[in-house]
Amino acid sequence: MSSRTMRAVGIVTLVLAALLGTAYALGRGLVAEMETQTTGSAADINSTHYADQPPVTDLSPTPSASPSPSLSPSPSPSPSLSPSLRGRGSTVEGDGPYGSVSSTGSSRVALTFDDGPDPQYTQQVLALLRQYRVKATFCVVGENAESRPDLVQAIVSEGHTLCNHSWQHDVALGSRSPDTIRNDLLRTNEAIRAAVPNARIAYYRQPGGEWTRPVVSVAEDLGMTPLHWAVDPVDWQMPGAAQIAKTVLTETTPGAIVLMHDAGGDRSGTVEALQYLLPELLSRFQLEALPTGTT
């Protein structure tokens, strides 16, 4: 074989080797990209957010009113639906799912905060409410109340109303047996009262708004009014402070109960929205903590 031929063969060999190396590198890059898109980050998978639980809609009959609040303005409330009229054995029904209460029964507006207490965001919400001299209602999760009794004490000492929000934010609690529901609600009340003895817990809010006849019945039998809402800015989805504020201001009418969250995930958007919402709402409405009645 001539030297010219050998040189040509060598050049071809080098070119083929380079092409094969490039193809191999591209292939590994594509595989790595596909794996990243499929698995995501460990933080996204393992982090727990109460409000991120999907609603359970197939565990009970569909009520005549949808458990999910409408994003259209709420109708004017009826004075006969005042939560203060509800109680053990009461036949008064609210205008929410399964007779739950979604209005204050007056011209006043009630702000409610779910899923706490949280060591970061609950304190920030309390500070803003204190700044604007607004009283609100906090629907607390039992295990959070147990781990942060100091925050439960702060909520009560500053004149806010307490609401039972189940032990562990069990969206499917309403589909369980009456005994299981009762034990869950009693355990939560006990955790709250361990922090604040003789605390008046006048309300129960079902996680996810997934109300059923049994959970309403048990709550009322324990002396708690089933508490729904009229305005939901879906702040748990973190739409941003501007969108949260816009939804609340657009949809709040006299008598509305407004749902927001002080725990269960990143609530910095809610806190930021409150800085604008509180003075604006005060210019339009009287804000109140839902009444607790007598102990």
Q: Looking at residue 284, what DSSP letter applies?
A: T
List the Cα angle 248/216/251 in 5-degree steps. 10
For the chain (295 residues), the mean pLDDT of every run of 10, in chain order, is 52 47 43 35 38 40 34 34 42 81 96 98 98 98 98 98 98 98 98 96 97 98 98 97 98 98 97 98 97 64
**Confidence at residue 282, expressed as pLDDT on a 0 to 100 scale:** 98
Handedness of CA 204, 206, 209, 212 (dihedral sign): negative
Pairing mode of beta strands 137-140, 201-204: unpaired
Residues 231, 260 contacting (CB under 8 angstroms): no
Please say if 169 is a catalytic residue.
no
Residue ranges of alpha helices (H) inside the chain are 3-39, 42-46, 121-131, 142-147, 149-157, 178-195, 213-221, 241-251, 268-282
Lookup: tokens for 246: 């816009």
Please say if 261 is a catalytic residue.
yes
Alpha carbon distance 200, 192 (integer Å): 10
Handedness of CA 238, 122, 131, 257 (dihedral sign): positive
**Confidence at residue 54, expressed as pLDDT on a 0 to 100 scale:** 41
Catalytic one of 114, 115, 170, 262: 114
How many Cβ atoms are within 10 Å of 139's Cβ, its own excluded?
Answer: 25
| pTM recorded for the entire structure | 0.73
Catalytic one of 118, 170, 261, 262: 261
